[in-house]
Amino acid sequence: MATSRMQSKSKQGTALLMKERATTLEEVALDSLKVCIITGANCGIGFETALRMTALDYDVILACRDAHRGNAAVARIRQQIPEGEVTFMQLDLASVKSIHSFVENFHKTGKKLNVLINNAAVVCNIRDQSATFTEDGFEMTFGTNHLGHFLLTMLLLDDLKKSGPDSRVVVVSSDLHNPSRRSLTNQKAAHIDFENLQLLAPGTFDSMLAYKNSKLANVLFSYELDRQLHGSGVTCNSVSPGFIPETRLNRNNKFIRCLLICCFRGFCRCLPITRSTTKGAEGLVFVASDRSLHGVGGKYFRDFAECNSSPESMDRDVADKLWKTSLDLVQIDIPERELDNSN
């Protein structure tokens, strides 16, 4: 009888040890996961990118403005990848306060950060050629697409550095930043005019031009950031996912969105410039995770290959001036010594 009790206690002790070991192994596994933040990940290529990064065993954080859509996106990913690590955190790139709050909340999780994908973007209503503004007074397109991501990245730089030597920033741009690739709806070419950076001079605002300029700013920022981070173990590249008709980018342009999706969907798919959300996301995932790009930075990618961006985007003087102007606008002070990691 005593022997039976001893055997029972022994079995219980073994089971407890096995459970503790399993818990420890699970904690180690979770701690070893690379962490990836993706802005605008509740729909379109952002969602498809989040889905694929989760499948690659990244701990993925969907940084989105709308809590309902963000949580719904998390649920959709978990349906397809039940064992995946994926969460939602609220972020409004049109709000400096929200960006600071997001970073503070991220730091409270205690997680490291290996990959930051700056994907979110807006296009204002092209039928209403009047500027709208963020809560901080920036023109909405420039403030969200460039300044919002600029501030977010600056506030997360230390996290990325600590997770090196292969931390990555991926900036989603567009070939529309290049004057040689003009849109069908507007022939004005992207250009950074520091005297009218946000197109607020009387009679100059144009919503599509504002979008193109913000995408040019994205490329300039990605190049300058990579130069600033040389030797830090963090790289930055920009990516053009191609023209994707099925996206919420045109959510503020109901007429254009309806035209693209309902009338020209089939036709657009036949054009060489168009991509599906899946194809666009695969290009982002490649730049964010492929081992062949270890240590590769300061490049512009399209269709899984490095290619040339516009001449203006490669102007180092323009990039340097935009960097300093952006720092002033978002009111953060990052001493150059903190960014200069060259030996």
pLDDT in tens, 271-326: 455 568 999 999 999 999 999 999 999 999 999 999 999 999 999 999 999 999 99
Q: What is the pLDDT of residue 1?
A: 47
Regarding whether 298 and 240 lie in a shared domain, the answer is yes
Neighbouring residues of 104: CB distance < 8 A, sequence distance ≥ 6:
none
Tens-digit pLDDT profile for residues 86-115: 999 999 999 999 999 999 999 999 999 999
How many domains does the structure of the chain reveal?
Answer: 2
pTM of the model: 0.84
* Same domain (yes/no): 27, 152: no
Give residue 182's pLDDT band: very low, low, confident or very high (50, 70, 90).
low
Query: Do residues 1 and 135 both lie within one domain?
Result: no
> Could you read off the pLDDT of 208-227 as tens digits, one per residue?
999 999 999 999 999 999 99
Query: In this predicted structure, what is the pLDDT of residue 164?
Result: 87
Listed residue (157, 305, 161) closest to 221, CA to CA? 157
Indicate whether 25 and 58 sit together in one domain. no
CATH code, domain with 87: 3.40.50.720
Indicate whether 150 pLDDT > 90: yes
Q: Are residues 213 and 143 in the same domain?
A: yes
Residue 83, pLDDT score: 96
Is the pLDDT at 15 greater than 50, yes or no?
Answer: no
For residues 156 and 171, membership in a common domain is answered with: yes
* Shared-domain flag, residues 8 and 137: no
Question: Which tokens go with 236?
Answer: 């930055």
Q: Are residues 3 and 87 in the same domain?
A: no
Residue 60 is inside which H or E element, if any? Answer: strand 58-64
d(CA 63, CA 89): 5
The tally of CA atoms less than 13 A away on the side-chain side of residue 279 is: 15
Domain check: are 279 and 330 in the same one? yes
Give residue 21's domain range: 1-32
If asked whether residues 26 and 134 sit together in one domain, one would say no
pLDDT of residue 42: 97
Task: For residues 144 and 250, state if they share a domain.
Answer: yes
Residues forming the active site: 211
Token pair 């920009």 is at which residue?
238
